[in-house]
């Protein structure tokens, strides 16, 4: 984003925004057997940011998160989970941001009166990277997948937000089969276990893991085995969405 673009759009747009309420979205995926997170770098002068923005005066936080992600990814059906509200009074400062951007005092004087505190509502999601097509948003931000375990320099409190989002994702993993959207139509139990291990950051006992997954009764074993493997060919499985939806409606809880 160029400062001239920020100056051109800020004055009229700020009148439509709740300038002390924002959303920050943490999108996780698995690429090259590593956990990744979607990052933006709108300003060359600063580090990376999470996809986020201010809530419009006529929308709630869920609608804002969906809108902001659609602007940056071109996808509007991402299931987002709200996990925490970040209220530290020192987490964000307009004056500090503008100073770090090197904005001229004249530009700052043209902006409306800005609040001294910004509260952010955090959302996370686990997505298939093949469905995400970063657009850069209206400011053509530099968007990329960063390593969740070795993050680049992040601005504001976004490193902390990512850490807490990962903790929330890991807790969710113990109670819901949230990985189904990363799986191919047919997969093996070792392939499913590998996804769990990447996200949890630890090894799991193979026999115990398979028993727990099958106990959920949402993974249907097929009368097919994986081909092209060096050792014993494992059975292929398929996620049964109908059984999962029915279990959700009946209030059944999944737990590892």
Q: Write out the two tokens for 135.
A: 């657009």
Residue 92 shares a structural domain with residue 157: yes
- Judged against a pLDDT cut of 80, whether residue 239 lies above it is answered with yes
Which position has the higher pLDDT, 70 or 45? 70
Query: What per-residue confidence (pLDDT) applies to 11?
Result: 46
Residue 103 shares a structural domain with residue 193: no
Q: What is the mean pLDDT of residues 93-121?
A: 72
Query: What per-residue confidence (pLDDT) applies to 206?
Result: 93
- Judged against a pLDDT cut of 80, whether residue 85 lies above it is answered with yes
Q: What is the mean pLDDT of residues 140-144?
A: 74
Contact 123, 85 (CB under 8 A): no
Residue 70 shares a structural domain with residue 130: yes
Give domain status of residue 41, yes or no. Answer: yes
**Residue 85, domain extent:** 3-165
Q: Write out the two tokens for 32.
A: 């090259």
Give domain status of residue 255, yes or no. Answer: no
Give domain status of residue 35, yes or no. Answer: yes
Q: What is the mean pLDDT of residues 104-127?
A: 78
Give domain status of residue 174, yes or no. Answer: no
Q: What is the mean pLDDT of the chain?
A: 83
> If you write DSSP's letter for every residue of 39-74 in order, what string do you get?
EEE--TTS-BB-SEEEEETTS-HHHHHHHHHHHHHS
> Among 165, 192, 216, where does a domain finish?
165
pLDDT tier for residue 2 given thresholds of 50, 70 and 90: very low
Q: Write out the two tokens for 98.
A: 């503008």
pTM, full prediction:
0.85
For 8, the 3-state DSSP assignment is helix
pLDDT tier for residue 3 given thresholds of 50, 70 and 90: very low
* CATH number for the domain that contains residue 217: 1.10.10.10
Q: How far is CA 135 from the centre of its chain?
A: 16
Residue 29 shares a structural domain with residue 115: yes
Query: What per-residue confidence (pLDDT) applies to 107?
Result: 58
Residue 129 shares a structural domain with residue 97: yes
Please count the residues of the chain. 256
Over its C-alpha atoms, the chain yields an Rg (Å, rounded) of: 21
| Separation CA 46–CA 44 (nearest Å) | 6
Query: What per-residue confidence (pLDDT) applies to 180?
Result: 84
- Judged against a pLDDT cut of 60, whether residue 137 lies above it is answered with no
> Among 165, 195, 221, where does a domain finish?
165
- Judged against a pLDDT cut of 50, whether residue 130 lies above it is answered with yes
pLDDT tier for residue 9 given thresholds of 50, 70 and 90: very low
- Judged against a pLDDT cut of 50, whether residue 12 lies above it is answered with no
Q: Is 176 exposed, middle or buried (0-12, 13-18, 19+ CB in 10 A)?
A: middle
Residue 143 shares a structural domain with residue 200: no
Contact 205, 216 (CB under 8 A): no
Residue 226 shares a structural domain with residue 132: no
pLDDT tier for residue 1 given thresholds of 50, 70 and 90: very low
- Using left for φ > 0, alpha for ψ between -120 and 50, and beta otherwise, residue 201 falls in left
Q: Name the domain count of the chain.
A: 2
Residue 52 shares a structural domain with residue 161: yes
Q: How far apart are the first and last CA of the chain?
A: 45
Query: What per-residue confidence (pLDDT) applies to 181?
Result: 82
Token pair 């530290």 in the structure block, residue: 88
Cα–Cα distance list, 150 to 161, 162, 167, 183, 233 (Å)? 15, 11, 16, 25, 35
């Amino acid at each position: 984003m160029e400062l001239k673009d920020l100056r051109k759009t800020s004055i009229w747009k700020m009148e439509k925004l709740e300038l002390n309420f924002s959303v920050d979205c943490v999108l996780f995926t698995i690429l090259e057997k590593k956990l990744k997170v979607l990052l933006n770098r709108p300003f060359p002068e600063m580090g990376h940011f999470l996809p986020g923005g201010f809530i419009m005066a006529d929308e709630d936080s869920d609608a804002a998160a969906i809108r902001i992600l659609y602007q940056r990814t071109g996808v509007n059906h991402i299931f987002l989970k709200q996990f925490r509200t970040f209220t530290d009074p020192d987490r964000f400062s307009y004056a500090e941001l503008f100073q770090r951007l090197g904005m001229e005092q004249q530009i700052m004087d043209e902006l409306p009166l800005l609040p001294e505190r910004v509260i952010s509502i955090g959302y996370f999601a686990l997505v298939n990277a093949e469905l995400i097509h970063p657009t850069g948003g209206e400011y053509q931000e530099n968007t990329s997948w960063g390593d969740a375990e070795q993050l680049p320099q992040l601005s504001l409190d976004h490193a902390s937000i990512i850490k807490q989002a990962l903790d929330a994702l890991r807790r969710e993993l113990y109670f819901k089969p949230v990985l189904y959207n990363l799986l191919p139509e047919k997969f093996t139990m070792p392939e499913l276990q590998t996804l769990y291990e990447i996200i949890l950051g630890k090894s799991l006992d193979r026999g115990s893991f398979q028993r727990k997954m099958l106990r959920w009764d949402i993974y249907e074993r097929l009368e097919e085995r994986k081909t092209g493997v060096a050792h014993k060919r494992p059975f292929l499985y398929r996620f049964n969405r109908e059984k999962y939806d029915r279990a959700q409606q009946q209030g059944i809880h999944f737990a590892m």
